[in-house]
Structure 1
Amino acid sequence: MSPIDRSRTVRRLAVALGFDLVGIAPAVSPPGYDHFLDWLAEGFAAGMGYLHRHAEARRHPEHVLPGVRSVVMVGLSYKPAEADPPESPRSGKVARYARGRDYHQVLWKRLGTLADRVGDAFPGSHCRAVADSAPLLERDFARLAGLGWIGKNTMLIHKQIGSYTVLGALLTDLDLEPDLPFGADHCGTCTRCLDACPTDAFAGPYRLDAGRCISYATIEHRGDLPDDLADSLHGWLFGCDICQEVCPWNRKAPPGRDPELAADPARAAPDLIDLLEADDEAIARLIRGSAMTRAKRSGMLRNAAALLAERGLSEALPALADRLEDEDPVVRAACARAMARIGNGKRAQSLGDEEGKAKQ
């Protein structure tokens, strides 16, 4: 069978499993590898030390699967069909990809099935499924596979389904006919994603400073949040979608059609005070099986306290006070800080009221 025929078979098998995007890239050193090294050298990875430790492994997919010859890239859209719930002072926003089932689990299972079927079709071949689980520059290979371009907000953008996508890869030692790489950049002169970021997390087009990113602060940052991060979450409890919300390519993109990634209404805008008052089992039920497990119990409660402090919500004081006895020192510190912030805000308002009365 020729590489072209093998590619057709693999693509047919992937499409049958419900992937929205399927493309094939050659197993080469990713074109953006030097840019990635420069990004690391500038300190833009913040506290994500694992990116430095595994930097060399990202030089070539051979480090992920010895003998690899082709990289089959797949994608799923997770754009919700329903409108976002109305915001309230007590609620926290959750990034859209984390509202449904954990996409890692969805991709791993489906890619595992694809690997089995490819193995049945081509006995003796070897495959490895990857979805954020190995040192691979997935967006680079998605572009090489013709699935879209990397936008100024560093997200992969597809002309039809936008950027609300999750990516996975199947590495194989099969010699497949690759797709043409996506060569165009359809961002043009648009800078809406850069301009909309409330924390100025972009050092420039295609250059994200993770240390200033709300998604990093609420998910990847471990331990206490520095004051500048804690006071700049802008309503986000987990992740952030602002740079995608303003992207013109997402306006007309259809909703995702995969039922496994459909949003759970309970995860779209959790009540922050209820979260602080919840027992461990209730917290586990909220985050279990979703991408929110990445922040763990500690991060979710820490972030909730920071949001309540940012809003100066005095009705949260009893719930915050109860958490001063929490077993987790990060949670205790976040709640103590929140109570101080809210208390100082009330004191400042009281002084302002008194000064106003004195002038009358």
Structure 2
Amino acid sequence: MDQTFEITPVNKEIEATIQQKIDIKTKPLGALGMLEKIALKVGCIQNCLTPKLNKPHIIVFAGDHGIANSGISPYPQEVTNQMVMNFLKGGAAINVFARQHQLELIIADTGVNFDFSDFGKEYPMFRDLKIAYGTKNYLNNPAMSREECEKAINNGANLISEIHQNGCNTVGFGEMGISNTSSAALLMHLFTQVPLPDCVGSGTGLGQPGINRKTEILGNCLSKHKPLTDPLNILKTFGGFEIATMTGAFLQAASLGMVILVDGFIASSALLAANAINPLVLEYCIFCHSSAEKGHQKLLEFFKAKPILNLEMKLGEGTGAAVCFPLIQSSVNFLNDMASFESAGVSEAS
């Protein structure tokens, strides 16, 4: 990899000072619940008593998977490129929520099986980061070569550097890729050692017979490629281009000291890979929601994370991060703008 991803631990020395500022606001101690914990986390990430969320972005990484042609999804592979067009035209859920909360949206083609080569001229939000026209089918071969995996990671890092240089300090990640819950389940199993059946869910709507077949096929994939221990070998064998690119984005965002909004199951699987490369990445992450996709709750437990929301969402696209953003903004706003007992002339508890 071109990037070394040197991540500085979050400064804990400022934590007591930020907590004191929170405690002297005009409210009983702890009365704002998780908002107080979020404010403390953002303040520590930014090493600042007056943190700001500047030019927040959601980046949706899209890529196709060779395994999609093995009968593990009720949707055909071409839905990936059709949904990318929907994103670019502004019609998807993430577009609605990004507009509502004034989040800048970027759509990155990391490996969709479709030619978007001229789309950057028509759609400024589009980024061409294509490695190939979809991964290989890991039922037979590793999803990508090590070189492709490293290039995807570097692409994600470079995109984060671009938006950071333009003033962004807060970013969330989403994804689109038919069959990417299969990759996520395999990554989860290998990085956490949770039994594979506990990692495999319905994805885009499989019933129990379909889930059973999906689990069986993924088990066969595991048997073909074991043993795997090195993080990059795991990622290149079973990942998607969108997941590998997101892995690099997680690592670079943390290395630049950005606030990272973690979405659902797929994004969390990329974070597993990033965590295996450098565990300090977690210090910069805010876990936005608990996905209804099977496996995500155990994934959150692995991270020792308490998500802010549980709305039974499982769409991906970064929608959980987008819906959660205004709560994070509220946390920062109360820390910065709410009066203290002294400044408001209000008597404190005895």
> Which has the higher relative contact order, 1 or 2, with Cα contacts under 8 A spaced 6 or more apart?
2
- Shared fold (TM-score greater than 0.5)? no
Normalising by the residue count of structure 2, what TM-score does the alignment of the two structures yield? 0.27
Normalising by the residue count of structure 1, what TM-score does the alignment of the two structures yield? 0.26
